[in-house]
Amino acid sequence: MAKFLFLYRHAEAAPGHSSDGDRDRELTSKGISHANQMGSYLIASNFSVDHIFTSTALRAHQTAAITAEAMKMDTSAIALEEDLYNATTRTFFEFIGKLDSSRNKVMCVGHNPTITYLAEYLTRESIGDIVPAGIVIIKFELASWNEVSQGNGQLVKYITPESI
């Protein structure tokens, strides 16, 4: 059975201030709107996910929660993953390889430049800088996530708030 990976860059966040930690940056009103818009688009386009894994950064978790609600998903399907905050491409890649094979449609919410690097690594496509709230959908004709490797993913779609 095919596996689908939704790589999602968190929506627009407020700039960091010296008194606030990077991890605690919240979404802007535009970011909230875009996360809702992306979830609404996914459900209207018959894209679904089994589970959402998100960085522990507040902006990523907010993006995941707002998108899940717009997709009419139970927010208990969201897992906070410390490893996805400040993850390198290698760390993110290893995380994907350890996913439960019973999950066929997985969304990972993270940060740039890692999301962009990983999408290009897995698909060998030139995607460019994934914008805030941008989602890259990748299809793998594999039985298990641990079979994912460089270039064996097919780019299904790159969706941005501006493109929908």
Amino acid identity at 104 = N
Q: What is the pTM of this model?
A: 0.95
**In the chain, where are the structural domains located?**
3-12+24-163
CATH code assigned to 3-12+24-163: 3.40.50.1240
**Interval 138-150 mean pLDDT:** 96
In angstroms, the CA 45 to CA 118 distance is: 24
Residue 121 has pLDDT above 80, yes or no: yes
Look at residue 16 in the predicted model and tell me its pLDDT: 75
**Residue 127, pLDDT score:** 95
Count of helix runs (H) and strand runs (E) in the chain: 4, 6
Average pLDDT value over all residues in the chain: 95
Give tens-digit pLDDT for 58-117: 999 999 999 999 999 998 889 999 999 999 999 999 999 999 999 999 999 999 999 999
Q: Could you say which DSSP state residue 101 is in? A: T
Give the three-state DSSP class for 164. Answer: coil
| pLDDT at residue 54 greater than cutoff 80 | yes
Q: Report, as an integer, the average pLDDT of 109-126.
A: 97
If pLDDT is split at 50, 70 and 90, which confidence band does 22 have? confident
